Structure 1
């Protein structure tokens, strides 16, 4: 069932026929008539303006007829079409225009309910696609991933992708590749084009610039505390305020790191948000 009201427009050259159909549609809770017209030209203009989900339209109209109205509306914003007529001989022509149904006058509520079931079936997948896109868009903003990558993930059984590195590949003293989990890193300091990666268990040297390494790490977790030092905020044990708008971080295991004044406010805000 669609999560919102289905918008509809009614077109008929007889005002009483319009009112009769509207009264029946009012008995169906998830549909709302947003417009009506009594001739073909007005129907085209109003349909383009309102862009209803469904168009209920009579075949016999002044000027251009119902079939011609629908032919002129063929576009990306084409509504679902239900033809309403006192004659059955045009049904084949109507379905060739991809009409969702063809109702004979006078339309009874039971038959109209059947039409509504078809309408719901056609609209629900579209709404689901739109909702899925909105969710992927929001997830992309949070994760930093492109929507195309998230769509590929959605159709697979892989874990949620992440734009940030989950592991760093570092060569040890024996020139062997070591995979270091980013979550295990406590702090990082720079020495030229080399980074010293400090974990609870061991320290590693990685040839990379600070700028490039920052681009690979989650900025919500790794924060600069100095122009040559950044820390994993989840590893901070405590913070002590110093003079001159500076602070000292306790990283545990006897490690204390000074926060320069340029980064002091940001680090304090992060720590306060963790304790809130």
Structure 2
């Protein structure tokens, strides 16, 4: 399994150290950076592209809840809030958190949180099966468009791309904006049918026609309608068995 890339955001160094110690038994998670305030964090998320963020709620200046609201939804990592007050739990989930942990960290509760995260991560990386493909073909999703909802057959989506605070669903030459994070959309669409080829792109594997190697480990994916998308080096190993590459 590809390790989860994790960023720690807390204004207290000892709190970041406690998170590092709690993460030590979990070898499927790699800490790629630490930040002591929201301004540093915004730059780090854009530069490091973490899959997971542990985010303190109470920080001087911009707090964790405001920081979460300012991150672009299209490229939003999973967020686990760290807080000393369980009264913040509802606000944390309203801000898009996938979970929260209380300070001081209880290792059993923390391990339970990590187990759920890794289970979801494995589901996202699982290879497709015929049963899953048939289930995906029958599914629908609803997207708010103005004052009404547009119902889309999941199998009709060619690919999805991050667009600022939205994701754009590309369906038969039409682009439909949907306010959702790429990670949540990936779970909604189903990793058995939609392959992450870039931190900002998901593609319907049934639409892939050709794959052309590029420089530095990247590749170009050509869809049936001629659309060209980048398969980044970071996601190429996971894409190989799905696309039959060697």
Per the shorter chain, which TM-score range?
0.5 to 0.7
Q: Map 1:100-249 onto structure 2 (within 5 A).
A: 100-128=98-126, 129=191, 130=195, 136=205, 140-141=209-210
Larger Rg: 1
SS of match in other structure, 2:68: helix
Deviations 1:214-238 (A, max 9, x none): xxxxxxxxxxxxxxxxxxxxxxxxx
Distance 1:135 1:72, change over 3 A: closer
Distance 1:123 1:49, change over 3 A: same
Distance 1:53 1:146, change over 3 A: closer
TM-align CA RMSD: 2.7
1:138 and 1:92 map into 2 onto residues whose CA distance is 40
2:15 and 2:94 map into 1 onto residues whose CA distance is 25
1:71 and 1:15 map into 2 onto residues whose CA distance is 24
Note the C-alpha offset of 1:27.
Answer: 1.3
Aligned to 1:46: 44
2:97 and 2:20 map into 1 onto residues whose CA distance is 20
The number of residue pairs the alignment matches comes to 144
CA contact under 8 A between 2:207 and 2:224: conserved in structure 1?
no
1:146 and 1:62 map into 2 onto residues whose CA distance is 47
1:72 and 1:29 map into 2 onto residues whose CA distance is 30
1:111 and 1:138 map into 2 onto residues whose CA distance is 42
Deviations 1:226-261 (A, max 9, x none): xxxxxxxxxxxxxxxxxxxxxxxxxxxxxxxxxxxx
1:63 aligns with 2:61: yes
Aligned to 1:247: none
Aligned to 1:259: none
The TM-score, its normalising length taken from structure 2, stands at: 0.52
Deviations 1:173-197 (A, max 9, x none): xxxxxxxxxxxxxxxxxxxxxxxxx
CA contact under 8 A between 2:82 and 2:100: conserved in structure 1?
yes
Deviations 1:251-272 (A, max 9, x none): xxxxxxxxxxxxxxxxxxxxxx
Moved more, 54-63 or 131-140: 131-140
Q: Runs (4+) of structure 1 moved beyond 6 Å?
A: 131-135
Q: Which runs of 5+ in 1 are unaligned?
A: 149-276
Distance 1:121 1:147, change over 3 A: farther
Note the C-alpha offset of 1:125.
Answer: 3.8
Aligned to 2:5: 7
Aligned to 2:16: 18
Aligned to 1:207: none
Where relative contact order (Cα < 8 A, 6+ residues apart) is larger, the structure is 2
CA contact under 8 A between 2:207 and 2:223: conserved in structure 1?
no
Note the C-alpha offset of 1:14.
Answer: 0.8
Distance 1:64 1:110, change over 3 A: same
Aligned to 2:147: none
1:110 and 1:147 map into 2 onto residues whose CA distance is 49
SS of match in other structure, 1:140: strand
